[in-house]
Amino acid sequence: MQQKVFEKLFENYLQNTISEAEQQKLMKMIQQGNHDDFVKEKIRVLLNENENAELLDKQKGDDILTYILSQSSAPKVIPINDNKKSYRRSGRTIVAIAAAITILFAIRTAFVYENTPDPVKTNQEKTEKVSSVLAFNGKQLIRLPDGSTIILNDKSSITYDQNDFDKETREVTLSGEAYFDIKRNEKKPFIVHTGKVSTRVLGTAFNINAYDTSDNIEVTVERGKVQVGDTKKIYGVITPNQQIKVNKNTLDFEQNNTKIETVITWKSNYLILDDLNMEDAVAMISQKYKVSILLGNDKIKKCRITASFLNEEDLDHVLKVVCSVIETTYHYNQNNAIVLEGKGCE
């Protein structure tokens, strides 16, 4: 029901038939992030229709972002230009994609100040100074300023102070579950806070499960070394396929051997193409969906793509998104293999 309401409001917005009250409702629904797949697909369709592509140009992206980020309660109107112009799929298309991405991912942090409790500051101080804390909620891929990445599981959140991050240390706070792939920096340790427990690394890959519904915090290592402890003592240093489990209430802990593949089964449902060339990207897609994918020419191999599919999207959806990004098309050949065709990249 909510999906149909959102689709109707979004369509009315594009057609410039939306009221101010409906527009307010649409922006709130966009902020919640429950309809990203629909918005992404709509963007893809619009970009394939030259006469409508201007509906999502950079100015409109900036207007929407300004609307979301605004703390003012005064109603705002985001104008739509009725004069539709046609243009080649070149720089303007890239601008439209950038604007769309800005909308989809900036909304994750748009209301951090309101949603991040700060018992130390008074209400007056909160209104005078905007928080520098960034918050990310729900399953997604997070790229940190130091080049590290975090894959956030469902019903989880990550926060960090963008003013202090990567100065002397790199510190984040986790609620829920996440997989960390941390860039090595011996001078600036990476620290994950989960309640009273802290996980400290220099550069490694590991998983932390710290859901509120569980009495335990579980830290499991895939690569490198991880130190787990609290403010008073170190529980232990673990290496690949080892886990430390800490009771949140008593801080009692135990260290065991385990299989990291079992722990991160949740992550296997995700398809994350993180700045890959197309040769590596199609290999990952082929493996996940058990299909054969061929590239029409060597220049397509040189194209690079960054995309995240975290909602068990079907193969057709993934191929449409990939092809829209690198400006290719796909079809099935007589052997039922998928073939990507296009001019490719230099």
Are 160 and 256 part of one and the same domain?
Answer: yes
Are 254 and 290 part of one and the same domain?
Answer: no
CA distance 211 to 192: 14
Transcribe 133-149 into DSSP letters. Answer: EEEEESSEEEE-TTS-E
Residue 346 maps to a domain: no
Residue 175 maps to a domain: yes
| Whether 88 contacts 51, CB under 8 Å | no
Q: Considering only residues 308 and 119, tell me which one the structure prediction assigns the higher pLDDT.
A: 308
| Whether 207 contacts 260, CB under 8 Å | yes
Phi and psi for 195 in degrees, rounded to 5? Answer: 65, -130
Report if pTM > 0.85.
Answer: no
Are 162 and 218 part of one and the same domain?
Answer: yes
Task: Give the pLDDT band (50/70/90) at residue 40.
Answer: low
Tally of structural domains, the chain = 3
Dump pLDDT digits (tens) for 79-103: 333 333 333 333 344 434 444 444 4
Most confident residue range from 76-90, 240-254, 305-319: 240-254
By percentage, how much of the chain surpasses pLDDT 70?
71
Report the relative pairing of strands 140-143 and 149-152 from DSSP bridges.
antiparallel
127-136, 260-269, 282-291 — which is least confidently predicted?
Answer: 127-136
Above 50 in pLDDT, residue 169? Answer: yes
Q: Which of 48, 80, 110 is the last residue of a domain?
A: 110
Residue 236 maps to a domain: yes
Are 250 and 284 part of one and the same domain?
Answer: no
100-109, 119-128, 276-285 — which is least confidently predicted?
Answer: 100-109
Are 296 and 226 part of one and the same domain?
Answer: no
Residue 82 domain boundaries: 2-110
Are 202 and 130 part of one and the same domain?
Answer: yes
CA distance 76 to 99: 19
pLDDT for the residue numbered 41: 64
Residues linked to residue 294 through DSSP beta bridges, in sequence order = 339
CA distance 288 to 217: 30
Transcribe 246-303 into DSSP letters. Answer: EETTT--EEEEE--HHHHTGGGGG-EEEEEEEHHHHHHHHHHHHT--EEESSHHHHH-
Above 70 in pLDDT, residue 345? Answer: yes
Are 157 and 225 part of one and the same domain?
Answer: yes
Are 106 and 122 part of one and the same domain?
Answer: no
Task: Give the pLDDT band (50/70/90) at residue 192.
Answer: very high
Are 287 and 257 part of one and the same domain?
Answer: no
